[in-house]
Structure 1
Amino acid sequence: MNQSMKKTDRPPYGILAVLMIGAFIAFLNNTLLNIALPSIMKDLEVGTSTVQWLSTGFMLVNGILIPTTAFLIQKYSVRNLFLTAMLLFTLGTILAGFAHAFPLLLIGRMVQASGSAIMMPLLMNVMLTSFPVEKRGAAMGVFGLVLMGAPAIGPTLSGWIIENYDWRMLFHFVTPIAFIVLLIGFFLLKDKKEKVDIRLDLLSVLLSSLGFGGLLYGFSSAGTKGWDSPLVYGTLIIGVIALVTFILRQFKLERPMLEFRIYKYPMFALSSAISMTITMAMFSAMILLPIYVQTIRGISPMDAGLMLLPGAILMAVMSPINGKLFDKFGGRILAVIGLAITTITSYYFSKLTLDTSYTYLMVLYSARMFGMSMVMMPVSTNGLNQLPARYYPHGTAMNNTMQQVSGAIGTALLVTIMSNRSETHATEIAANAMKNIVGQPSAAQAVEMKQQIMMQAMLEGINDAFLVTVGIAGVALILAFFIKRSKQAEDIIGRKSSDKKVATKLAKN
């Protein structure tokens, strides 16, 4: 069965090109917003823990919707899914572009997220079914180049737009491009799908939404409300219970919404664990660095974007090279070297000062991105390669779900650490400052002193958050030593339920 599913004909380059352009626009919009967060905070008068909902909320919607993509990919054609995804993304972009209050901006972002949630697993699945295992590294490398190209130009473009225009221009700029991609997809994508008799289990959708949603909301709220808030630990408990119930239900269903048995394939399970930890580490720099360079250092958005540019370009250029190296040498050597670089650079990021040089930050960030480029795509491709072809939709859905969830938890956790540690440091620094003061300071001196204390405290909080990412990257590094080159395994899940297999074959006939 697996052999028959391998494509012997030419890969559908036209479909892949349209899908990649759509994914590029979705990715570009995501990276455009990171540099804009301080401007949005000032304009809409919201705090750090509130504004991070633009990132966490985006990932929350992804975390809820992506588990359903395994079902959607099996049920609907690439054309229908792509057009729906692009339409949702375009509508969300228009809504966010005209937002004059934070809730409206957040709703726009979440509508965008519902579109991009379908896009990524869809593209990954088409890639997996279009190329044989031995050529997959190079193909995924080109896919990586396209997707890393977005973070390469995103921050610089965003910085330039914010310096010259209002932050809403970020959305107005993307809207016409998204609309053109939607039209191209409408006229170019012609694939049809035979009617598949599968139904979505609504209880599974509800349980997965409560599970992932509860966890993400709990972690995100901890930054402002504290871990002892009933709302925080209440939603976390509900999330865990719902998620456990969801997983148990998937084992009982004949056609699960999300097939958790794919974790029986050891290389897939390992790649998933490494991807989750490295995603948590990656989001730290994406969230913490803009706060450091703009809020503490006062570097302009344009210069902040330029600082991140060489690292993003390096990551994009290395993606196809790493794809070729993966096909030749396998994933372990790449992952070990990449994670060692990531761990070391994360440690140096925990030593930031109020006068760390711009060049030093640029070089350090570039080195970190170079390390990350050797890990992300090779590790996930190696894991997916072990799965039998019929589990590709479940594999891509699972990978994307876990990445979104770990990214959201990582972001929330690190912002929580930064906020809480900043408060602790502020109290300590203020106490030390009061001991050394002789006489009563003037009102102006008191204001300046308070500002200096807050800056120093925030800096120490950011350093503490980066120090946590050293531990996270270290865990991924240890796991990377257990990677083995994987080939497509036999269907052990289907073999154990042979009656189900017969029933499926009969249904197909």
Structure 2
Amino acid sequence: MNLDLQKVKRMPIMFALMMGAFVATLNETLLGNALPVLMKEFQVGATTIQWLTSAYLLVVGALIPITAVIQQWLTTRQLFSIAMITFLIGTIVAATSPSFIFLLIGRVIQAIGTGLIIPLLMNTLLNIYPAEKRGSVMGVLFLIFTFAPAIGPTLSGLIIDVMDWRWLFYSTIPITIISIIIGYYYLINVTTITKPKIDVLSIILSTLGFGGVVYGFSASGTGGWSDPQVYWSIIIGGLSLILFAVRQLRISNPILELRTFRFPLFSLSIILLIIVMMAMFSTITLLPMFMQSVLLVTAFQSGLIMLPGSVLNGLMSPVTGKLFDRFGAKVVIIPGLLIVSIAMYLFTGFTLESTSLQIILTHCLLMLGVALVLVPVQTYGLNQITPEYYAHGSAIFSTLQQVSGAIGSALFIATMSARSHSHLAQSSNPDDVTEQLSASVAGYSDTFMLGFIISIIAVIVALFLRKNTKEKQAA
């Protein structure tokens, strides 16, 4: 569809979509501070409870590739309405769940709605704004994407401390309903309806592939990497992803156009995004656990401690978009990655004596670094591809953003759990509470060291970015 950009009423369209994206992304972190409480409520361990976050991110990541095709079947308004109504149903199921399984099912249904809305928003933005304005607009977009997760931990902490955990879901229902109403009245179609054939086998391979890899990483925290359940899940998932990739390159209507990876700088941007998302989501999950289980602060207090960094990240998003438009990628991204690396290293030094101020400052440093990377790296990557690949390029970014967050959370929690048990096993008195706390601190330290190593790799990769951010021809 060739849109006349001068006649498009951008603000009502973006406002409607951002309302939906706000409530959807809010749920990515809304349970962060509630996980320790839910562990007690349903009598499950850390590696099990983290699936409320990992499964949400995984389903979002597995579904997003399909939206590139779905957007060619349904109008923008139809897809938005389906996404938000599905999200509403999942919210109601989660709020009324009598057991952990029902709560997990509700989260999965919520994730289906989120998986549809995120790429719809990204693709709409690419179609209604010219390239020279995308950095600034992406900054505003990520303000929404980061403000919602920013208030998630604090909101969940407040609700957990003064109300029943079910209000984590009840509280989002009115916002969801309002977004559905606004979207119905204001959205117009910005894509071409061609109704291509949907390849079911590709969907199965994609879901099995991402699901197997994430499940394997998650299960490693319980059985270790030598557990057949762990390595077979990763092997099957990996093989499924390979078959998925081969099939996408061979069929005429792929659900995810992998030829976008022929643009080298687009591929480089993807690598950087994966690393940063792993660092951010794993930290969002680990810090509340550390503060509540080791430092023994309340859920609301841990949410307040994480709020300044999250708000800083949101406020910086529009700024980093403008910095990118003015100075280019390397000038913004490399300093951001260095800041992330410094923050990760500082996290390794947390102890039983760590203060709230120390955690606040270190978390602020991390989220500042993340803000300097996320908006520029995605804008830079999408500027490298030609318009016919926009829908697929944004779907790839959104897919790997969610999946890498799920893998990062699963990997870091599995590492923390395994290292804590390892340190406790070496203790002279494993039943002593002090020894248990010391083992937990050592486990967290080892895990953040892993994050530090990964972030250093990202710095090295970023050195290969080029200053020119205009669209490139495929290699």
How would you bin the TM-score normalised by the shorter chain? over 0.9
Q: Within the alignment, does 1:58 sit opposite 2:40 as a pair?
A: no
Q: Within the alignment, does 1:150 sit opposite 2:133 as a pair?
A: no
Q: Within the alignment, does 1:43 sit opposite 2:25 as a pair?
A: no
Question: What is aligned with 1:489?
Answer: 472
Q: Within the alignment, does 1:452 sit opposite 2:434 as a pair?
A: yes
Distance in 2 of aligned mates of 1:210 and 1:95: 25
Secondary structure of residue in 2 paired with 1:268 = helix
Which of these residues, 168, 188, 191, is aligned with residue 189 of structure 2?
191
User: Does the 8 A contact of 1:121 with 1:397 survive in 2?
Assistant: yes
Secondary structure of residue in 1 paired with 2:31 = helix
Task: Please list the CA deviations of residues 89-110 of structure 1 after superposition, one character each: whole Å capped at 9, or x if unmatched.
Answer: 1000000001121000000000
Letter paired with 1:469: G
Question: What is aligned with 1:477?
Answer: 459
CA apart distance, 1:454: 1.3
User: Does the 8 A contact of 2:72 with 2:191 survive in 1?
Assistant: no
CA apart distance, 1:414: 1.0
CA apart distance, 1:75: 2.5
User: Does the 8 A contact of 2:305 with 2:360 survive in 1?
Assistant: yes
User: Does the 8 A contact of 1:75 with 1:196 survive in 2?
Assistant: yes
CA apart distance, 1:190: 4.0
User: Does the 8 A contact of 1:5 with 1:389 survive in 2?
Assistant: no
Question: What is aligned with 2:166?
Answer: 168
Q: Counterparts in 2 of 1:56-455, with a 5 A limit? A: 56-191=54-189, 195-428=193-426, 430-431=427-428, 433=429, 450-455=432-437
User: Does the 8 A contact of 2:58 with 2:210 survive in 1?
Assistant: yes
User: Does the 8 A contact of 2:329 with 2:469 survive in 1?
Assistant: no
Identity %, equivalent residues: 42
Task: Please list the CA deviations of residues 356-394 of structure 1 after superposition, one character each: whole Å capped at 9, or x if unmatched.
Answer: 011111111111111110001110110001111111111
Letter paired with 1:305: G
Letter paired with 1:127: L
Distance in 2 of aligned mates of 1:194 and 1:324: 31
Secondary structure of residue in 2 paired with 1:375 = helix
CA apart distance, 1:63: 2.4
CA apart distance, 1:284: 2.1
Secondary structure of residue in 1 paired with 2:32 = helix
User: Does the 8 A contact of 1:422 with 1:457 survive in 2?
Assistant: yes
> Structure 1 stretches of 5 or more lacking a match?
435-448, 494-509
Task: Please list the CA deviations of residues 322-345 of structure 1 after superposition, one character each: whole Å capped at 9, or x if unmatched.
Answer: 111111001111111111011011
User: Does the 8 A contact of 2:127 with 2:190 survive in 1?
Assistant: no
Distance in 2 of aligned mates of 1:477 and 1:194: 39
Distance in 2 of aligned mates of 1:298 and 1:194: 54
Which of these residues, 439, 447, 463, is aligned with residue 465 of structure 1?
447
Task: Please list the CA deviations of residues 473-499 of structure 1 after superposition, one character each: whole Å capped at 9, or x if unmatched.
Answer: 111111112222321234x49xxxxxx
Letter paired with 2:293: T
Distance in 2 of aligned mates of 1:140 and 1:453: 47
Q: TM-score, normalised by structure 2?
A: 0.96
Task: Please list the CA deviations of residues 1-59 of structure 1 after superposition, one character each: whole Å capped at 9, or x if unmatched.
Answer: 9xx67835445221110000100011112221101111111111111000001011112
Distance in 2 of aligned mates of 1:384 and 1:8: 22
Task: Please list the CA deviations of residues 218-239 of structure 1 after superposition, one character each: whole Å capped at 9, or x if unmatched.
Answer: 1121112222222222221111
Distance in 2 of aligned mates of 1:148 and 1:240: 31
Distance in 1 of aligned mates of 2:206 and 2:314: 33
RMSD between aligned alpha carbons?
A: 1.7
CA apart distance, 1:205: 1.0
Distance in 2 of aligned mates of 1:333 and 1:74: 37
Secondary structure of residue in 2 paired with 1:367 = helix
Task: Please list the CA deviations of residues 256-300 of structure 1 after superposition, one character each: whole Å capped at 9, or x if unmatched.
Answer: 111111111111101000000111111221111001101111111
Task: Please list the CA deviations of residues 418-447 of structure 1 after superposition, one character each: whole Å capped at 9, or x if unmatched.
Answer: 11111111022x22x59xxxxxxxxxxxxx
- Residue correspondences, number: 474
Distance in 2 of aligned mates of 1:210 and 1:260: 18
Distance in 2 of aligned mates of 1:86 and 1:326: 32
Quick one: structure 1 residues 94 and 206, their matched pair in 2 at CA, closer, same or farther if it must change by over 3 Å?
A: same
Task: Please list the CA deviations of residues 115-170 of structure 1 after superposition, one character each: whole Å capped at 9, or x if unmatched.
Answer: 00011111011111111111111001111111211122222221111110011110
CA apart distance, 1:188: 2.4
Distance in 1 of aligned mates of 2:233 and 2:257: 25
Task: Please list the CA deviations of residues 302-324 of structure 1 after superposition, one character each: whole Å capped at 9, or x if unmatched.
Answer: 11111111111111111111111
User: Does the 8 A contact of 1:342 with 1:371 survive in 2?
Assistant: yes
Quick one: structure 1 residues 6 and 132, their matched pair in 2 at CA, closer, same or farther if it must change by over 3 Å?
A: farther
User: Does the 8 A contact of 1:284 with 1:411 survive in 2?
Assistant: yes
Distance in 2 of aligned mates of 1:311 and 1:244: 38
Larger CA deviation: 93-102 vs 403-412: 403-412
Distance in 2 of aligned mates of 1:329 and 1:6: 29
Secondary structure of residue in 2 paired with 1:191 = coil
Quick one: structure 1 residues 336 and 189, their matched pair in 2 at CA, closer, same or farther if it must change by over 3 Å?
A: same
Larger CA deviation: 250-259 vs 95-104: 250-259
User: Does the 8 A contact of 1:22 with 1:181 survive in 2?
Assistant: yes
Q: TM-score, normalised by structure 1?
A: 0.90
Distance in 2 of aligned mates of 1:302 and 1:229: 37
Distance in 1 of aligned mates of 2:190 and 2:213: 38
Distance in 1 of aligned mates of 2:151 and 2:48: 26
